[in-house]
Structure 1
Amino acid sequence: MTKREKLSNFILENFSLLEYDSGSGKSLKFPEFQLHALDYLKFAEEEMENRTTRSLINCISHLKHATDCQMDTFLHVLNLYKVFDKKNLKFDVKLKFLKDIGLFSSKSLSRLNVFRNRMEHYYEVPKINDIEVYYDLITAFVGVLQGALSILANYGSGVGMYIDETENNSFTRFSIEYHYDEQQITANWDTKELEEELIVKVNEQDDFTYFLKVLFLIHHRESYASDSYIINQLAIVI
């Protein structure tokens, strides 16, 4: 049984009973960029107002920069940027990573890639309607990653939970935490029958992305996601 299957089994069996206990983490380290994604979105908005051929082409460039900048910011904060850069992993691989950790839907990713490829590989003047849709999509993309970083800033890189069943003389503890410096995630649970500790490193790709998905979704529970939604998202289809 894989590590993600072990974690999935525990989560699916116990999640509705688990209660939030505490969060843990440290201040986020942001890259020292001179420009940020919101700056590029502002540039793109200004270019759209002009609607000349040059402005529309410039707008596409700014939107591409906004996307790359926000993605790289996210990876820098998670201390994963060098992992992707060293392997020269392309933009679509980074997008798949976001999909695998549950931050961006596959349908939105497909639309994003379609627009990006059309603008890069077909030497045509972009239509204003297409640019407006592309702008909205990139704005949403930037917002999703900003929201994910806000979750880490507000709730921390780790979370502790528990199940108190005093009448059954049972007390269950569960925790999961992302360790930025080590680029690894630990998950622990201690029940009446079992103590388990799982450690996944960034090179364990499938397990690592699943564990990160668990962490983000647990934090979502404290804001806007229902238990049934989270359980559905964390079920592993074999």
Structure 2
Amino acid sequence: MSVMHWTNVNNESPSKFNRQSSETLPPIRKRIQKRTEKSLKETTFKSLYKQNKLAEIVKKAQENNEEIYEEYDEIKIQGSILKINDNVIIKNGDHNVEDYVGTIQKICSVLEPQTNKLICMCQVQWFMKKSEILIHKPRARCWIGTQEIFSTKKNDFILAQTIIQKCKIVDCDEFVNLENSDLTTYYNRLEWDVENKKFTNMNEIQLYCLCQQPWNPELNYIQCDKCQKWYHFECVNLIEGCYDDKEYNCGYCN
């Protein structure tokens, strides 16, 4: 039986499997970049639209013909005037998933050359919802509120027609003091790092109760009359309503 072994033997004849020197890499990169740019130029707006590559549509329009690209300060959608920096609810194509929340950063349109139809788009900066965070931080379920959202640095272009309506985003303290709020009112106090799947400013949030969790404005707390600290009823084994008219002292102050 004959057996062939791979060995590190120096061979005078060049092999096609030999690694290329670093001197050859820049020209290769340039050729790849040129091919990519050429491919983008040859790609039609229609095909990019079908692939939902809206950022590429904007880039192609800006590079090829400035006359077909235009930016605006406001746009009318669903009978409402929307402006840059407005917070909006954005329709999710999957009916089984919650709608999205974002802030409008740019409003623009591209005139499709072949059909002369306008592709109206908005660039939005995304917020993450509770359901999206819990995939990566399931233990945060007890302190993240239903109406809490998390700012990110991620932004994308969306079709303007996918915007449902404006929404309101306040800080946590303002949310607690609101007399009337609905499902279009959210609060934000933390930023989420999309790439690394973590909170970026968790050390700035005050922790409460024996369980040392951030404040959840949608839960009920009881305050110790001596130390002024706040506790969940469950964590101190109390029934809600039993201390409405009498003094409460926590286990440390009792």
Higher normalized strand content (fraction of residues): 2
The structure whose Rg is larger is 2
Tell me the TM-score normalized by structure 2: 0.25
Q: Which has the higher contact order (CA 8 A, sep 6+)?
A: 1
| TM-score, reference length from structure 1 | 0.26
